[in-house]
Amino acid sequence: MLCQSSEELQALVEEAKKCTIYGKVADYIPALGKANRDDLSIAIHYPDGSCISAGNIEKKISLQSISKVISLALVLMDHGPDYVFERVGMEPTGDPFNSIAKLETMAVAKPLNPMINAGALVVTHMIKGDSIEERFGRLLTFVQQLTDDPDVSYCQEVASSELETADLNRALSFFIKQHGIINEDVEQLLDLYTKQCAIEMNCLDLARIGVVFAMDGKDPVTGKQLMPEEVARICKTFMVTCGMYNASGEFAIKIGIPAKSGVSGGIMGAVPERFGIGIFGPALDDKGNSIAGIKLLELLSKNYKLTLVLYK
């Protein structure tokens, strides 16, 4: 779909771009280290199908942690909330996304929420299917429905690059396996998880996913209900409480938009009943969030009064 470029949005991008010099591209997944620190683009997708954009919105990025919201929606549909929340909690941690610390101090080694890596690994473990191919195929089909784009796929290079270097995620998986939270082969789980994180798309597709969450799980363009309202509500709530890692509290206070970020520099936002947002800005702050992406959302939220507490 063609996106109208907006001068107003472009001016906000130029303003937000000034802070990319204070950020750093993630390189613990070697393939992500190739990104250009100074990139910044945004698409906003409205329920009537129109959209506005600024920057190079055709550039594809891997979802990384943004995929955690989508896999959560899928397993909530696969198993229902009771089953899912017996295995992963609902509480923010205040710790970095890849931290192992709380797992050891909890009475049951159940990860605190599905947005940290330990919790996301449990969620990925719950994706139904008889093989890795079938489970990944189901997830990808769901993503293709959410974006209404059958060509969305994953980046083999990013997936392999993460699989080769994912020893911390291996450690988390072995820990939760030892404690009986998961019971599958760790290497297979990581194969599936790294492919999930490597699903790639452009900002416009990302904004389209955002508008589906914003409209309570219904694609406003096709009219299809892609997930039950209840599932969309749970996912959006996690985006508010845990979507920006251990910066979620400050983000909620200052910006107040349900959002999920990934270390590729992507942010997917869902402004309830109004629009979806897709951002790409690979320069990250010290918590792993897109530094210019956050600045851009702050400007948008202030200029257009998007913060949650203003909803009537």
Ligand X SMILES: NC(=O)CC[C@H](N)C(=O)O
Which spans of this chain sit near ligand X (rule: CB under 6 A)? 64-65, 97-98, 117, 162, 169, 197, 262-263, 288
Q: How far is the CB of 12 from ligand X (least distance, A)?
A: 24
- Residue 68 designated active-site: yes
* Cβ distance to ligand X smaller for residue 210 or 262: 262
The answer to whether 65 is annotated as binding is yes
* Minimal distance, residue 159 CB to ligand X, in Å: 9
What is the rounded CA–CA span in Å between residue 114 and residue 190? 16
| 3 state DSSP class of 237 | helix
> Among residues 26 and 257, whose Cβ is nearest to ligand X?
26
Q: Determine whether 248 is an active site residue.
A: no
245 is in an annotated binding site: yes
* Annotated catalytic residue, options 236, 245, 271, 301: 245
193 is catalytic: yes
Q: Is 263 noted as a catalytic residue in this protein?
A: yes
The count of other CB atoms within 10 Å of the CB of residue 96 is 15
Binding site annotation covers 104? no
The distance of closest approach from Cβ of residue 90 to ligand X in the complex, given in angstroms and rounded to an integer, is 19
Please answer whether residues 244 and 257 qualify as being in contact, where contact means their C-beta atoms are separated by less than 8 angstroms: no
Entry field: residues in the chain:
312
User: Is 24 known to be catalytic?
Assistant: no
Question: Strand 275-280 relative to strand 41-45: parallel, antiparallel, unpaired?
Answer: antiparallel
Residue tagged active-site, from 62, 65, 248, 290: 65
Distance CA 209, CA 107 (A): 36
The active-site residue out of 221, 263, 264, 301 is 263
Select 53 or 124, whichever has its Cβ closest to ligand X.
124
Helices 229-242 and 203-214 cross at an angle (nearest 10°) of: 110
User: Which of the following is catalytic: 71, 84, 193, 248?
Assistant: 193
Q: Based on CB atoms, which residue is closest to ligand X, 163 or 226?
A: 163
3-state helix, strand, coil in the chain (%, to 5): 50, 10, 35
CB of 196 to ligand X, least distance (A): 8
What's the per-residue H, E or C state across 103-140?
HHHCCCCCCCCCCCHHHHHHHHHCCCCCCHHHHHHHHH
Q: Which residues are annotated as a binding site for substrate?
A: 65, 117, 162, 169, 193, 245, 263
Which residues are annotated as catalytic?
A: 65, 68, 193, 245, 263
